[in-house]
């Protein structure tokens, strides 16, 4: 994992001082609210329905047990004793006091963390694959590149007041677990025919009101030019992205208006002036950053037959092995997902007690490190297979062994109307009613892989467009309703879902989901996952079933 | 008169900013900034006028079209209609780095203390502060950070070069 040097530490420390002074001036009435707003946003501080909300970066999802302990402490000392993991490898405190935020930032800086650019019209926290470094299908470890991008984007003086926010995701494996096609810039690292690292660059993807899949603007880029090329993309966007209408201000609108070809050409022209400057990355720095992402001290182990392991233990454990344990590139090791999706807990929430227990377990089972996934779950990346059962037994009483990774009840869900001032509808109670309705693990396992994503409004924080089933809160004459869509996906074959038809009331939604699932079960071929069936048959059969008049 | 921050000093900014396409093309005495759309007139006036002559760009103007003419002026200003409009940062970098402009680049318009550090890094060398800004805070803001992660128009070595003594 990356460790700060004196430069990194000094920069975050200076940021704390800067924000302390800005907060002081705001509270003293010297800095008007509308001028403080972008400053606090660039420190992750929103003001929400009931209280400010502080969004803390977990750069590319890597976090140590020491950092998690600090977060548990912060949540208890400055908030209500729990935290919320988001879909962009960030963490949110829902109830901090504005006056105390500088102090929280100081606490964070003491464990090499910050809230820099987690919000606002700037370059946001760069995200990646939660299995980076351990995935069996990984070609390039994306984390050093994420760290290099993190540093480049931190306090970038030219791009702090963009037309709109800007999000970059990096992946380095065959399967895209970072949703790179729905980011402002998606970066795919690969090896060319000479085995040299290259990047494929996509631009113009995004969710929100106008969901779009990104286009390739550079098929192959040398690593030394990564930063100058990003500078060029951002400069074209900064100058020509729309500023007259915030709903048309994302880069996707510019790329579409110009066409991806013309946009790529403009970037190329800009880049020709930038590539031979100091923006060229020195190899020494690439080597230095890569040196932090070496393998931990793996033992020499051999793979255990997980089927044998399963048969020797409790049925619950078998389900958990099937769903929450993932292949690892090292023999004898597995990666394990702790889903933060137990029924009745808001998806993505964890209490200080859970966090403390989790950090102890990370020390015992997984080299003291954890990952945060965009599905709002936590991951132990390096667990010896021989200790899986022991780990499961320890997780169970903590309510962290729900065997539903990737299943219907492992939902992505935004905070919705319970917390968010922009919401049309609540989403957490809906998530809970769906979890209650579908609590039969055998049924869920039979349905198999299924992403259910819920957003409380068209800002799409819950990624409903790319859920296999997506639910969107809408307002019908002041009442909360939910629109349902099917067929979205955020994988390497990303697609956007199609709306089934008129929206439903909250208490109708579980039934509607049930009808959708039954339609799938009727129509599927033996190998088909839900999304495969959707793609083969289209929305029509789902529509018919869902809107059929009761006989 | 608006306050000017330049060379670590606070003074008054006595430049008059001429509007785009003025109806009354009477030139005032003293230092003036022509909008870039009147650059021909600025070129003619430069040297004859009692007072300095410079050019100003609005955030959506394109310096590309007049790049060759710029270095004959001692000052170029870039306007920020609102501080949230970040196009001026790119314009200043283009002026400094692409068009090799060596005179004074002045930030005008909605210029606030909390953006000065980034403005300076992008190549601005003087700042016409909005009337209500505290000049002491402004001076202090220029040194908010002691090192930076990325290259910019200030040409200071970024951290990734400092680390390796490059
Ligand atoms: C409660 C306070 C929140 C507010 C007010 C809020 C507001 C917004 C808004 C206005 C957008 C739309 C941006 C656009 O126009 O493109 C947005 C996008 C987004 N939000 Fe939130 N959000 C909140 C919480 C969250 C949480 C908790 C998560 C994670 C679970 C989240 C994840 C996202 C993501 C991933 C997007 C980006 C969608 C895209 O790619 O365009 N937000 N948010
Ligand atoms: S999707 Fe809408 S309701 Fe949900 S958090 Fe985002 S802005 Fe709020």
Mean pLDDT, residues B46-61 taken together = 93
Report which listed range, A5-14, B18-27, B39-48, is most confident.
A5-14
In a domain, A327, yes or no: yes
Confidence category of residue B25, pLDDT binned at 50, 70, 90? low
Q: Is A485 helix (H, G, I), strand (E, B) or coil?
A: strand
**Does A267 lie in the same domain as A208?**
yes
Residue B117's contacts (CB-CB under 8 Å, 6 or more residues apart) are A157, B141, B142, B143, B144, B145
B63 pLDDT above the threshold of 90 = yes
Q: Which of A420, A453, A474 to mutate to test the pocket of ligand 2 (most atoms within 8 A of CB)?
A: A420
Interface test with B, best of A158, A279, A283 (most B CBs within 10 A): A158
Domains of chain A: total: 4
**Does A284 lie in the same domain as A317?**
no
**Does A430 lie in the same domain as A334?**
no
A418 pLDDT above the threshold of 90 = no
User: For residue range A198-243, what is the model confidence (pLDDT) as tens digits?
Assistant: 999 999 998 877 888 999 999 999 999 999 999 999 999 999 999 9
B18 pLDDT above the threshold of 90 = yes
B24 pLDDT above the threshold of 80 = no
**Does A432 lie in the same domain as A347?**
no
| Total beta-carbon pairs less than 8 A apart between chain A and chain B | 110
Summary mean pLDDT of chain B:
94
**Does A157 lie in the same domain as A105?**
no
**Does A464 lie in the same domain as A349?**
no
Does residue A456 have its Cβ closer than 6 Å to ligand 1? Answer: no
DSSP A23-55: HHHHHTTSS-HHHHHHHHHTTTEEE-SSSEEEE
Higher-scoring residue by pLDDT: A407, A68: A68
Ranking A198-202, A232-236, A419-423, B31-35 by mean pLDDT, the lowest is A419-423
Mean pLDDT, residues A457-470 taken together = 92
**Which chain B residues are Cβ-neighbours of A18 within 8 angstroms?**
144-145
Burial of A434 (0-12, 13-18, 19+ CB in 10 A): buried
Q: Which ligand is nearest to the CA of A411?
A: 1
DSSP A213-263: --EEEEEEE-GGGHHHHHHHHHHHHHHHS--S-GGG-SHHHHHHHH-HHHH
Mean pLDDT, residues A409-425 taken together = 88
CB contact under 8 A, B85 and A161: yes
In a domain, A235, yes or no: yes
In a domain, A120, yes or no: no
Distance (Å) from CA A459 to ligand 2 centroid = 6
CB contact under 8 A, B147 and A11: yes
Q: Compare all CA atoms of chain A with the CA of B90 and give the residue at the minimum distance.
A: A158
**Does A362 lie in the same domain as A319?**
yes
Q: CA–CA separation, B3 vs A24, rounded Å?
A: 24
User: For residue range A481-510, what is the model confidence (pLDDT) as tens digits?
Assistant: 999 999 998 877 778 899 999 999 999 999
Report which listed range, A166-175, A258-267, A291-300, is most confident.
A258-267
Confidence category of residue B22, pLDDT binned at 50, 70, 90? low
User: For residue range B114-150, what is the model confidence (pLDDT) as tens digits?
Assistant: 999 999 999 999 999 999 999 999 999 999 999 999 9
Confidence category of residue A550, pLDDT binned at 50, 70, 90? low
Reported pTM: 0.85
DSSP A61-91: GEEEHHHHHHHHHHHHHHSSSEEEE-TTSEE
User: For residue range B86-111, what is the model confidence (pLDDT) as tens digits?
Assistant: 999 999 999 999 999 999 999 999 99
Q: Which of A207, A214, A414, A496 to mutate to test the pocket of ligand 1 (most atoms within 8 A of CB)?
A: A414
In a domain, A297, yes or no: no
In a domain, A122, yes or no: no
B26 pLDDT above the threshold of 80 = no
Distance (Å) from CA A536 to ligand 1 centroid = 31
Report the pLDDT value the prediction gives residue A450, as an integer from 0 to 100: 92
CB contact under 8 A, A121 and B162: no
Q: Which helix (H) or strand (E) covers residue A437, if one does? A: helix A428-437
Provide the CB-side half-sphere exposure for B20 (13 A, CA).
Answer: 7
Distance (Å) from CA A129 to ligand 1 centroid = 20
User: For residue range A351-363, what is the model confidence (pLDDT) as tens digits?
Assistant: 999 999 999 999 9
Q: Is A5 helix (H, G, I), strand (E, B) or coil?
A: coil
Residue nearest to atom 25 of ligand 1 (CA): A461
In a domain, A517, yes or no: yes
**Does A272 lie in the same domain as A135?**
yes
β pairing state of A349-351 and A82-85:
antiparallel
Say which CATH number the domain at A365 has: 3.90.480.20
User: Within an 8 Å CB–CB cutoff, is residue A277 touching chain B?
Assistant: yes
Distance of CA A75 to the CA centre of its chain: 21
**Does A539 lie in the same domain as A465?**
yes
Mean pLDDT, residues A337-351 taken together = 82
Residue A225 structural domain: 127-291
Point out the residue among A155, A278, A282 whose CB comes nearest to the CB of B149.
Answer: A155
Report the complex ipTM: 0.97
A119, A42 contact by CB (below 8 A): yes
DSSP character at residue A161: S
User: Within an 8 Å CB–CB cutoff, is residue A151 touching chain B?
Assistant: yes
Does residue A415 have its Cβ closer than 6 Å to ligand 1? Answer: yes
Distance (Å) from CA B120 to ligand 1 centroid = 32
CB contact under 8 A, A155 and B87: no
In a domain, A299, yes or no: no
Which domain-ending residue is among A371, A398, A425?
A: A398
Residue A258's contacts (CB-CB under 8 Å, 6 or more residues apart) are A240, A266
Say which CATH number the domain at A506 has: 3.30.413.10
Q: CA–CA separation, A139 vs A408, rounded Å?
A: 30
**Does A139 lie in the same domain as A89?**
no
Which domain-ending residue is among A260, A291, A322?
A: A291
Report the pLDDT value the prediction gives residue B102, as an integer from 0 to 100: 95
CB contact under 8 A, A11 and B112: no
Summary mean pLDDT of chain A:
92
DSSP chain B: --EEEETTEEEE---EEPPSS-SS-PPPSS-EEEEGGGHHHHHHHTTTSSS-EEEEE-TT--GGGGGGGGGGSSEEEEEESSTT-THHHHHHHIIIIIS---SEEEEEES--GGGHHHHHHTT--EEE--TT--HHHHHHHTTS-S--SS--TT-PPPHHHHTTT-
**Does A157 lie in the same domain as A88?**
no
In a domain, A446, yes or no: yes
Q: Which ligand is nearest to the CA of A465?
A: 1
Compute the C-alpha angle A161/B150/B164, nearest 5°: 165
Chain B nearest-CA distance from A277, in A, is 9
Which domain-ending residue is among A109, A138, A165?
A: A109
**Does A261 lie in the same domain as A158?**
yes
Interface test with B, best of A161, A226, A274 (most B CBs within 10 A): A161
Mean pLDDT, residues A65-74 taken together = 97
């Amino acid at each position: 994992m990356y460790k700060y040097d004196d430069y990194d530490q000094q920069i975050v420390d200076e940021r704390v001082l800067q924000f302390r002074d800005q907060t002081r001036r705001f509270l003293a009435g010297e800095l008007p609210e509308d001028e403080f707003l972008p400053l606090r946003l660039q420190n992750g501080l929103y003001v929400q329905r009931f209280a400010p909300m502080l969004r803390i970066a977990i750069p590319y999802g890597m976090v140590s047990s020491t950092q998690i302990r600090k977060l548990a402490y912060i949540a208890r000392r400055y908030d209500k004793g729990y935290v919320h993991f988001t879909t962009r490898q960030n963490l949110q405190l829902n109830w901090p006091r504005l006056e105390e935020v500088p102090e929280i930032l100081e606490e964070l800086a003491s464990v090499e963390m910050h809230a820099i650019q987690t919000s606002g019209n700037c370059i946001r926290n760069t995200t990646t694959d939660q299995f980076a470094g351990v995935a069996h299908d990984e070609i390039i470890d994306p984390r050093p590149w994420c760290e290099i991008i993190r540093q480049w984007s931190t306090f970038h003086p030219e791009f702090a007041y963009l037309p709109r926010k800007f999000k970059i995701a990096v992946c380095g494996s065959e399967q895209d677990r970072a949703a790179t096609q729905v980011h402002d810039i998606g970066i795919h690292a690969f090896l060319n025919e000479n085995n040299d690292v290259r990047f494929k660059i996509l631009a113009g993807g995004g969710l929100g009101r106008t969901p779009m899949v990104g286009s390739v603007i550079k098929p192959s880029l040398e690593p030394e030019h990564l930063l100058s090329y990003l500078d060029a993309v951002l400069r074209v966007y900064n100058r020509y992205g729309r500023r007259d209408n915030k709903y048309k201000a994302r880069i996707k609108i510019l790329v579409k208006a110009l066409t991806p070809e013309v946009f790529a050409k403009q970037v190329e022209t800009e880049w020709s002036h930038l590539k031979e400057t100091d923006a060229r990355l020195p190899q020494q720095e690439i080597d230095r950053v890569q040196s932090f992402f070496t393998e931990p001290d793996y033992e020499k182990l051999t793979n255990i037959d997980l089927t044998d392991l399963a048969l020797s233990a409790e049925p619950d454990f078998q389900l958990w092995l099937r769903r929450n344990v993932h292949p690892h590139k090292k023999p004898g090791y597995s990666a394990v997902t702790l889903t933060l999706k137990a029924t009745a807990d808001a998806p993505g929430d964890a209490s200080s007690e859970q966090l403390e227990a989790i950090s102890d377990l990370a020390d015992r089972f997984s080299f003291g490190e954890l990952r945060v996934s965009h599905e709002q779950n936590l991951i132990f990346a390096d667990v010896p297979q021989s200790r899986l059962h022991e780990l499961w037994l320890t997780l169970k009483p903590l309510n962290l062994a729900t065997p539903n990774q990737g299943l219907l009840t492992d939902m992505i869900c935004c905070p919705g109307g319970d917390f968010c001032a922009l919401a049309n509808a609540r989403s957490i109670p809906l998530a809970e009613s769906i979890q209650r309705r579908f609590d039969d693990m055998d049924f869920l396992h039979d349905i198999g892989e299924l992403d259910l994503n819920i957003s409380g409004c068209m800002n799409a924080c819950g990624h409903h467009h790319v859920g296999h089933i997506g639910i969107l809160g809408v307002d019908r004459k002041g009442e909360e309703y939910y629109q349902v869509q099917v067929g979205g996906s955020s994988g390497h074959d990303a697609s956007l879902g199609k709306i089934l038809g008129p929206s439903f009331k909250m208490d109708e939604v579980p039934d509607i989901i049930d009808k959708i699932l039954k339609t799938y079960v009727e129509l599927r071929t033996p190998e088909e996952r839900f999304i495969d069936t959707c793609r083969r048959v289209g929305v029509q059969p789902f529509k018919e079933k869902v809107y059929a008049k009761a006989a | 008169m608006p306050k000017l921050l330049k060379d670590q000093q606070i003074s008054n900014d006595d430049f008059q900013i001429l509007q785009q396409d003025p109806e009354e093309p009477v030139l005032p005495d003293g230092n003036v900034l022509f909008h870039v759309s009147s650059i021909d007139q600025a070129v003619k006036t430069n040297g004859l006028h009692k007072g300095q002559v410079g050019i100003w760009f609005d955030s959506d103007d394109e310096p590309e079209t007049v790049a060759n003419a710029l270095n004959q002026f001692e000052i170029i200003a870039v306007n920020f209609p609102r501080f949230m409009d970040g196009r001026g940062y790119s314009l200043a970098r283009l002026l400094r780095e692409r068009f090799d402009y060596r005179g004074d680049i002045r930030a005008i318009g909605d210029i606030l203390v909390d953006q000065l550090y980034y403005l300076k890094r992008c190549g601005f060398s003087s700042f016409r502060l909005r009337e209500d800004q505290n000049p002491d805070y402004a001076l202090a803001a220029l040194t908010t950070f002691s090192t930076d992660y990325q290259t910019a128009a200030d040409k200071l070595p970024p951290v990734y070069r400092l680390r390796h003594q490059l």
